[in-house]
Amino acid sequence: MRAVVVTEPGADFEVVERDVPDPGPDEVRVAVDACGICHSDSYVKAGGFPGLEHPRVPGHEVAGHVDSVGENVTAWSEGDRVGAGWHGGHCFTCDPCRRGQFLQCENAEITGLTFDGGYAEYATVPAEALARIPDDLDAVDAAPLLCAGVTTFNALRNSGAQPGDLVAVQGIGGLGHLGLQYAHAAGFETVALSRSPDKRDLALELGADHFVDASAEDAADALQELGGARVVLGTAPSASAIESVVGGLGIDGELVVVGVPHEAAEIDVQQLVMSRSAVEGWASGHARDSQDTLEFSALRDVTPTVETYPLEEAEAAYDRMMENEARFRVVLEP
């Protein structure tokens, strides 16, 4: 099979010929139909991530179909359409697993990081890490939903927001353009916050009821004028963006951060205390969360905007994504 590998930290992607891998007893072999490229794939290029060894095939937005199952696998059969996201399996025996907190597993696998991922024609994946893809969802659309989709969908549905509440999505990119659609479909009064005024029309098309141009007005003031946000979903990986919206939270408001900045953010605690509000983080989801995301997306016609490339163009496709030029997610079709 053809696969894209990172042979050592800092190396360019290399397309190689490899043997098709056999699934272990508790694994499934997936014939990859599409695999999204995500910012977190940069960990594989950079090296140093716990559990990462090179050479490694990246890719944790894997959509395909079951090609072969290991001898202990009962949940999946050949031909099933399945996907795998960042959460690549868990041990079932550590303390978080015993409490059902599989995402927090102390021995968690990460697809395309602790084992080879979806930048290839085939990938073997632990059976518990797979989500079923609904019939009416394209593999190319499903792929980004397995990381960017589940992250935003899961963050919103685990927040305290109720239908009708004011929910703002900060940043309209790979995560934010999905967050807006989910917020609208969930029945929230949806605000798009962006420093790019040229994204106004797109934001309204994706379901925003309001657009706040944060390059021209104070985002916190604008949110307070709308009544104060019950939730702000922070997708822009910037400390100053995070700091700029804390004052826009309403009573019991939550700033749920999913876009992680490289620098620390300064939070005005007095603002939190006065409004009884909180700044918190959210990461991804386990396989059933991914499947819920795919099912809801199919039900409500939530689709990512994608650019597609063949495996041979992985390097150029990755660069477009890292340089923020892609609209909005990049998907490889092996």
Q: Which residues bind Zn ion (CB under 5 A)?
A: 38, 40, 90-91, 94, 97, 105, 147
Supply the DSSP string of 103-133, one letter for each residue: GG-TT--BBTTTB--SSBSEEEEEGGGEEEP
Instruction: Give the residue with the Cβ less far from Zn ion, 259 or 334.
Output: 259
Residue among 299, 311, 306 nearest 326 (CA): 306
Query: Which tokens in the block code for residue 17?
Result: 């010929």
Instruction: Give the residue with the Cβ less far from Zn ion, 97 or 208.
Output: 97
Other C-beta atoms lying within 10 Å of the C-beta of residue 250 = 19
The one-letter code for the residue type at 86 is: W
Cβ–Cβ < 8 Å for 281, 233: no
Nearest approach in angstroms of CB 334 to Zn ion is 18
Instruction: Give the residue with the Cβ less far from Zn ion, 149 or 334.
Output: 149
The values of phi and psi at residue 188, to 5°, are -85, 150
Nearest approach in angstroms of CB 207 to Zn ion is 23
Instruction: Give the residue with the Cβ less far from Zn ion, 90 or 286.
Output: 90
Nearest approach in angstroms of CB 105 to Zn ion is 3
Nearest approach in angstroms of CB 227 to Zn ion is 33
Cβ–Cβ < 8 Å for 119, 97: no
Instruction: Give the residue with the Cβ less far from Zn ion, 33 or 165.
Output: 33
Residue among 131, 85, 130, 90 nearest 112 (CA): 85
What does the chain come to in residues? 334
Nearest approach in angstroms of CB 5 to Zn ion is 18
